[in-house]
Chains A and B, each alone.
Chain A
Amino acid sequence: MSFILEGFVKAFQLLYQGDSETYSAVLATLKVSSISMTVSLLAGIPLGYLLGYLDFPGKRGVRTVVDTLLSLPTVFIGLVVYAFISNRGPLGEFGLLFTLTGIAIGQSILALPIVIALTATSVEGLERALKLTLRSLGASPRQMFFTTIWEARMGLLIAAVTAAGRVLTEVGISMMVGGNIKWHTRTITTAIALETNKGQFATGIALGLVLLAMAFAINLSLSTLRRRV
């Protein structure tokens, strides 16, 4: 049982003493999740807005598809992305396998449905009167978009936090696509998987605590932001 307590002590040691392997994994996690969050937010918010705002035939069907994609298993995304970017796959020539970019592609696929679905829900949740008012005031489509998004900002914040939570903690994509290469594509989650495989539970627990601390920092800064807007 001592390894549990040991894990807590070790977490502080790793961070405090600037353990280079730990920081390399933290940096890899930060890099890859920032890319995938940026991509999924930039693509997902406009798409979610369209899905929530427009009425079009087959909207229900699209909605069901997006909601189903919310439960895409990470190992499956990992496998599909791997197959595509392997040198024998259709995108092989770009040499993306075992790179952070490759992981980011998979994580964007993971986060995109979350951003789309939650954006659409929060846009739908706005009062219908807003749409009518804006239209009667003669707002351009661009103004409509920004005003609606601004009004739905709380929902978008929740969408971003949820997607970030999923992206930060996934291990299937990072392991399969990234290959857990030391100093390069080893993220915190794949490092935890490795340490567990090696029977080094204390180090694994320590890394888990580091990840929790990161999630805490992100949520803390977002809730500060929420109070300000």
Chain B
Amino acid sequence: MKQQFARQFKILLPALIIVFIAALPMKAASSQLLLATTTSTDNTGLLDYLAPMFTKSTGIELKWVATGTGKALKLGENCDCDVLMVHAPPAEKKYVEAGFGVNRRQIMFNDFVIIGPDSDPAGIKKQEICSALQNISEKKEPFVSRGDNSGTNKKEMFLWKQCSGQLPEKQEWYLQTGQGMLATINVAAERNGYTMTDRGTYIKFEANSKGNPPLRIVVEGDESLLNQYSVIEVNPAHCSKVQNELARQFGDWLVSKEGQEAINQFRLLDKQLFTANASQ
């Protein structure tokens, strides 16, 4: 019996060794920067495009967690990332004032659009944003919201409050998914409803649907639909272990001529998604 056991062990040992070797952590690169960002920069492929250029120019490897702006700010507050790339200016300003972040810099913008079924059951095509939202509300057409406290969600809630004085919370036509932008657009498509999205994610959705998207842009171009992205370094005074030197380099690179040109040159389906507007 013992011999049997020993024989089994001889078979198992090499397997175990292989497993352990495979399990050894990958050799850590000299410097890794952890960025918390929003789903829009990840889903559109912008970060996949920028990260190698940034690494080439600075030697820093960029890792990122893509989540909503709300969660990203929370990650920074908890010292769980080094730098943030988010888009909710009022929340960002509060965040910096509270001492969680430093050196907030504008980097680029894109814009939000309202999309809906081609048949446009609420009849809001080409209306201005407030009357569009009011019409959706009056006709009780389904409106799908992110409901996840992301930058997009904050903007949408702000617009509802501004246009109709209150959030359509708990209305049966107001659906909160609690998921990312593309997932939310997919819900809107399944429910034949409206939603507000950043243009970049919509272009990606258009590409996914192979040129025949079930939802189309119905409202766009309004001043209040602009979507400003900023980079914020997590405050080293608040988080002692944060890699502020690397975070600073990332911010510097984004607002540099090289970074700004890279952002402007990023194309999805031949369309420019983001417009660089760093104030340097």
Binding site for B on A (CB under 8 A): 27, 30-31, 34-35, 38, 86-88, 92-93, 95, 97-101, 146-147, 150, 179-184, 196-200, 225, 229
Other than the given A31-B22, A181-B65, A198-B180, 6 more pairs (CB < 8 A) read A34-B22, A38-B20, A86-B80, A87-B239, A182-B48, A182-B64
B241 contact from A31, A34, A87, A100, Cβ within 8 A: A87
CB distance from B52 to the nearest CB of A (A): 11
Q: Contact at A199–B208, with CB atoms within 8 Å?
A: yes
B26's closest neighbor in chain A, by CB? A184
Q: CA of A38 to CA of B23 in the docked complex: distance in angstroms? A: 11
Q: Contact at A98–B80, with CB atoms within 8 Å?
A: yes
Determine whether B1 belongs to the interface, using a CB cutoff of 8 Å to chain A.
yes
Q: Contact at A34–B19, with CB atoms within 8 Å?
A: yes
Contacts of B280 in A (CB 8 A): none
What are the nearest 6 A-B pairs in CB distance?
A: A87-B79, A179-B65, A197-B183, A34-B19, A88-B78, A197-B180
Q: Contact at A150–B5, with CB atoms within 8 Å?
A: yes
Q: Contact at B23–A31, with CB atoms within 8 Å?
A: yes
Determine whether B34 belongs to the interface, using a CB cutoff of 8 Å to chain A.
yes
CB distance from B176 to the nearest CB of A (A): 16
Q: CA of A199 to CA of B23 in the docked complex: distance in angstroms? A: 32
Q: Which one of A34, A92, A198, A229 has the highest number of Cβ atoms from chain B below 10 Å of its Cβ?
A: A198
Q: Contact at A198–B182, with CB atoms within 8 Å?
A: yes
Q: Which one of B16, B34, B185 has the highest number of Cβ atoms from chain A below 10 Å of its Cβ?
A: B34
Number of interface residues of B (CB under 8 A): 33
Q: Contact at B22–A229, with CB atoms within 8 Å?
A: no
Q: Contact at B239–A27, with CB atoms within 8 Å?
A: no
Contacts of A200 in B (CB 8 A): 208
Q: List 24 A-B contacts (CB under 8 A).
A: A27-B22, A31-B22, A34-B22, A34-B23, A86-B80, A87-B78, A87-B80, A88-B78, A98-B63, A100-B25, A147-B1, A150-B5, A180-B65, A180-B66, A181-B65, A183-B63, A184-B63, A197-B179, A197-B180, A197-B182, A198-B43, A198-B183, A199-B205, A200-B208
CB distance from B22 to the nearest CB of A (A): 6
B48's closest neighbor in chain A, by CB? A182
B1's closest neighbor in chain A, by CB? A150
Q: CA of A79 to CA of B241 in the docked complex: distance in angstroms? A: 23
Contacts of B66 in A (CB 8 A): 180
Contacts of B183 in A (CB 8 A): 196-199
Contacts of B241 in A (CB 8 A): 87, 93, 95
CB distance from B185 to the nearest CB of A (A): 8
